[in-house]
Amino acid sequence: MAWKLHGRVGDSPIIGAGLYADNEVGAATASGVGEEMIRNAASFLVVELMRQGRSPTEACREAIERVVHKRPAASKTLQVCFLAIDKQGEVGAYALHPGFVYAMHDATPDTGLTPV
């Protein structure tokens, strides 16, 4: 990130900003401009929205809407993305701008063979 301060700590190690998990609900993680994740306790927000009944995708979308609401001018140039999974295993993601790509893999064998 241009002009970042020496010693800057991004959102990744800050629980609730870059990542958050709750065994009763699910988990979320963020990508993009970390300062926006920190300002909004963004991953915590995604999990709390799922607690209120939103799907992982709906929760990710609403969290991004809140980030944009707080800093509408900045939202034109920054990227904010979320990934979430609920307790039932439903996965969702949302990004402010196009181009965010993610991959997912489950533990189901692809071979059709029964594990021994």
Q: For the chain, what are the domain ranges? A: 19-95
Mean pLDDT by 10 residues, the chain (116 residues): 69 85 97 87 97 98 94 86 96 93 77 53
Nearest to 92 by CA among 39, 29, 45: 29
pLDDT at 95: 94
Fold held by 19-95: Glutamine Phosphoribosylpyrophosphate, subunit 1, domain 1 (3.60.20)
List, for residues 70-86, the tens digit of each pLDDT value: 888 878 888 899 999 99
pLDDT at 21: 97
Q: What is the pTM of this model?
A: 0.83
pLDDT at 63: 96
Helix/strand/coil for 94: strand
In angstroms, the CA 67 to CA 78 distance is 11
In angstroms, the CA 36 to CA 22 distance is 22
pLDDT at 116: 47
pLDDT at 20: 97
pLDDT at 78: 87
